[in-house]
Structure 1
Amino acid sequence: MGPRVCQVCNEAQSKYKCPSCRAPYCSVPCFKKHKETPCVSPLPSEENPKSTCVLPVQSEETSSSFSSAAAPESLVERPITVTEPSAVLERHQLEAIASSSELRDALKDKSLQKLIGSIDCSTDAENELDKAMEVEVFRLLTDKILSAINP
């Protein structure tokens, strides 16, 4: 694949891609212009079978720290709804998860990363989560998370 032309100005060679829709653009002004109109993430479909959920591979350096830059991009948008307010984690619980070396080590497992990615990219995440709970490595991860938030 050769160089692509910016889809905003249609003049310059693109250097970047929109994190949401993957449209190529060449500069910050073009990106700002692109964002004036809401864009959507491409979803795999029969019309576009090559479109898939893309999960960046993390290196040893990035897998040891939690940051939004290292987080996989989900191409499936879901509304955030809370049916049980008591199920929302408190800040100290989130910090306990983020600071757990045991959890960081567990998340280095490539099969676990793939499993989490399949849940995140699924249009039926709840069903995928149910299937994941049948996999031992995923159950162990959930046990470690529960131990971190309920010491």
Structure 2
Amino acid sequence: MQLCGVCSEQVPKYRCPVCRTRYCSLGCYKNHRGTDACQPLKETALPAPVPCQSASPSAANEPWTVDDLLDENEHSDKVPLERLQQLGESEALKGLLRNPHLRQLLASVDTAEDKAQAMKTAMQEPLFVEFADQCLKVVEPSEKEADEEDDGI
């Protein structure tokens, strides 16, 4: 279990935007920012983010990692990199993403303050459900699809 980088007592929930140190509370953040330990990371320390053609300019300024999104208890749901790459190669997903309404739905979920509520709302749209189902087919193929994939069918 990872502990707060400032107090070493609690599980961290946040990450410093300057140096990426993980912390658990506003108090720890204020203590951390008041020290010399909070220094920007060197550019060579982070891998260069791969720009997305449809990404907004502000999104490109803040690279993120899977660890930023997941806490330690959620790592069991982590998707292997190979499967994520297969999402980008899926012709069915590329076809769905040509739909401007779906792109708008995805952008609204991405920019929402309350992502859980935004997802709940988006899942009321049949187009979004179709997109989510197609993503799951790539990431978690059914046993039949996995067997066909293994057999080269």
Distance 1:69 1:95 in 2: 14
Pair 1:68-2:51 in alignment: yes
Query: How many residues were matched structurally?
Result: 86
Q: TM-score, normalised by structure 2?
A: 0.49
Percent identity over the alignment is: 23
Shift of 1:124: 1.0
User: Is 1:120 aligned with 2:146?
Assistant: no
- The match for 1:133 is 123
* SS of equivalent to 1:84: helix
Q: Which residue of 2 aligns with 1:20?
A: none
- Secondary structure of 2:69 counterpart: coil
User: What stretches of structure 2 of length at least 5 have no aligned partner?
Assistant: 1-38, 41-49, 142-153
Q: How does 1:44-59 map to 2 (within 5 A)?
A: none
Which sections of structure 1, spanning at least 5 residues, go unmatched?
1-36, 39-66
1:1-151 to structure 2, matched below 5 A, reads 68-73=51-56, 79-82=68-71, 83-151=73-141
Q: CA deviation at 1:121?
A: 1.1
Shift of 1:71: 4.0
The one-letter code of the counterpart of 1:143 is D
Bigger fraction of residues in helix: 2
Task: Report the equivalent of 1:30.
Answer: none
Let me know the Cα RMSD of the aligned residues. 2.4
Q: Secondary structure at the match of 1:70?
A: coil
What stretches of structure 1 move > 3 A for 4+ residues in a row?
none
Name the SS of the counterpart of 2:51 in structure 1. Answer: coil
1:129, CA displacement in angstroms? 0.6
Question: In the aligned structure 1, how far is the partner of 2:89 from the partner of 2:52?
Answer: 17
Q: CA deviation at 1:81?
A: 2.8
